[in-house]
Amino acid sequence: AQSVTQPDIHITVSEGASLELRCNYSYGATPYLFWYVQSPGQGLQLLLKYFSGDTLVQGIKGFEAEFKRSQSSFNLRKPSVHWSDAAEYFCAVGASGGATNKLIFGTGTLLAVQP
Amino acid sequence: DAEITQSPRHKITETGRQVTLACHQTWNHNNMFWYRQDLGHGLRLIHYSYGVQDTNKGEVSDGYSVSRSNTEDLPLTLESAASSQTSVYFCASSPGQASNTGELFFGEGSRLTVL
């Protein structure tokens, strides 16, 4: 069965510093991978997704993620964090494409940004 | 604009009462999902549906039920609310076509407190 691990529950970075959020997945075939962001009191918004092609994917708000099959990882990065990036971030894996896909989510990483 | 709406956004109820959370989407998506979000657990799948009259159990379905009588709505019912069901509930949908990557579109959540 597929699963997702986000090892960092809580991360604090200074504004302007770089950011990397870790995500490891377990799945036998090529997964569909997603990063979502949740601002306080809000639903989840898609940041970026990977399902084929270039292993470095660009998303909204200046985020990017790199798929590394050998490490079963899909880490999220941003070169310079803004105070508005403070939120909870979720990595998710989908078993396959097609009409009946569903996602399994990690436990989330809460990002705090210091001025 | 197409959207997905949940109601009520906040509800307080008592142990043993029946509660129904509504979810309505106007994207004409075939797939609809209910997740619950709890600290330390991330989002866990409760029930999902791939079309009218189709419902399936997720990983935490005990004590919950859903029905799908039309494309737009997937209400979630707690037959006899328990304190362990205090949580934030998210409804989501996806297109459900062959080209579907599994990307989910989320509602803003319903916060349920069971006293």
Could A102 and B45 be called an inter-chain contact, meaning their C-beta atoms sit closer than 8 Å?
yes
A chain contacts of residue B48, beta-carbon cutoff 8 Å:
102
Could A99 and B100 be called an inter-chain contact, meaning their C-beta atoms sit closer than 8 Å?
yes
Question: Is pLDDT of A54 > 90?
Answer: no
Q: Which of A46, A94, A107 lies closest to B42 in CB terms?
A: A107
CB B47 within 8 A of CB B56: yes
Q: Which residues of B touch A (CB under 8 A)?
A: 30-31, 33, 35, 40-45, 48, 50, 90, 92, 94, 96-104, 106-109
Looking up tokens 């939120």, which residue turns up? A87
The pLDDT assigned to A53 comes to 83
Average pLDDT score over chain B:
92
Phi–psi pair at B66, nearest 5 degrees: -135, 160
CA A78/CA A87 separation, integer angstroms: 14
The pLDDT assigned to B34 comes to 97
Question: Is pLDDT of A99 > 60?
Answer: no
The pLDDT assigned to B2 comes to 63
Question: Is pLDDT of A86 > 60?
Answer: yes
Q: Which of A90, A100, A102 lies closest to B42 in CB terms?
A: A90
Average pLDDT on A82-108 reads 84
Min distance A55 CA to chain B CA atoms (Å): 16
User: Which residues, 6+ apart, have CB-to-CB distance to B80 below 8 Å?
Assistant: B16, B17, B18, B63
Please name the residue of chain B whose CA is at the shortest distance from the CA of residue A97.
Answer: B101
Report the residue of B106, B108, B110 to disrupt the A interface, i.e. the one with the largest count of A CBs within 10 Å.
B106
B chain contacts of residue A107, beta-carbon cutoff 8 Å:
40-42
B chain contacts of residue A45, beta-carbon cutoff 8 Å:
106
- SS percent in chain A: helix, strand, coil, step 5: 10, 50, 40
Please name the residue of chain B whose CA is at the shortest distance from the CA of residue A90.
Answer: B42
For residue B6, what are its two tokens?
A: 């949940």
What is the maximum span of chain A, computed from C-alpha positions, in angstroms? Answer: 44
The pLDDT assigned to B39 comes to 85
Average pLDDT score over chain A:
90
B100 pLDDT band (50/70/90 cuts)? Answer: low
Question: Is pLDDT of A12 > 60?
Answer: yes
Least confident of A32-41, A79-88, A92-101, B80-89: A92-101
Average pLDDT on A2-15 reads 93
Question: What contacts 24+ positions apart, CB below 8 Å, involve B64-68?
Answer: B64/B34, B66/B34, B68/B32
Could A102 and B48 be called an inter-chain contact, meaning their C-beta atoms sit closer than 8 Å?
yes
